[in-house]
Every structure is written in C-alpha cells, then in structure tokens.
C-alpha cells in the first residue's frame, strides 16, 4: 500500500474527502516526526510505539572491494508493534 492508497482507505473509513484524509495523514506524520526529534516516544495503545534508538559506530565492509569502512553512529527511528496489532496480523 502506498501513500495514495492509504489516503483513499482513510477517506473511505472516516467518510471524508481525500484532501481531508491527506491533511490528517500529513499532520500525523509531522507530529510524530517532531516528537521523535525531541527524543520523545509516541505510543498508540493497541497499535504500537514510535521511538528513537541510538546506533553505535561500527566497522563495515565495502561489498565491492572488501575494504573496511567506518560507519558513523546515528539515531534511527524505530517502531514496535503493539499486542493488538501483532495479534491481528498473525491471525491472517
């Protein structure tokens, strides 16, 4: 499912226009991004939790040459599915 298909599904479920659903999705993404930049977690009970994780610096290898390269430490976004979402996906 891509963004356009998600917006269409949201509009149908909420009985609103695609424009309104698109604005709601953009607002959600913006709010989650802002919270993660601050280092906060975003928890949607039953759905899951968005958080930031620190990835340590490490040594990797260039697959073409085999030469060692340094990979810098960085922060990455992480999502952990909630119990309800996990149960619904597993019961497919």
pLDDT in tens, the chain (92 residues): 999 999 999 999 999 999 999 999 999 999 999 999 999 999 999 999 999 999 999 999 999 999 999 999 999 999 999 999 999 998 86
pLDDT at 56: 96
pLDDT at 24: 97
What ranges do the domains of the chain cover?
1-39, 41-92
Highest CATH level, class, for 41-92: few secondary structures
pLDDT at 91: 80
Q: Give this prediction's pTM.
A: 0.79
CA–CA distances in Å: residue 21 to residues 6, 26, 34, 56, 61:
9, 9, 20, 38, 44
Report d(CA 85, CA 58) in Å as an integer: 33
Report d(CA 51, CA 34) in Å as an integer: 11
pLDDT at 92: 66
Report d(CA 29, CA 41) in Å as an integer: 14
Report d(CA 75, CA 68) in Å as an integer: 22
């Amino acid at each position: 499912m891509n963004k356009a298909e998600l917006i269409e599904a949201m509009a149908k479920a909420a009985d609103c226009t695609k424009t309104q659903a698109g604005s709601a999705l953009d607002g959600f993404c913006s709010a989650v991004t802002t919270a993660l930049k601050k280092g906060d977690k975003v928890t949607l009970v039953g759905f899951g939790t968005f958080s930031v994780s620190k990835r340590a610096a490490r040594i990797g290898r260039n697959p073409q040459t085999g030469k060692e390269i340094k990979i810098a430490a960085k922060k990455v976004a992480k999502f952990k599915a909630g119990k309800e979402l996990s149960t619904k996906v597993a019961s497919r």
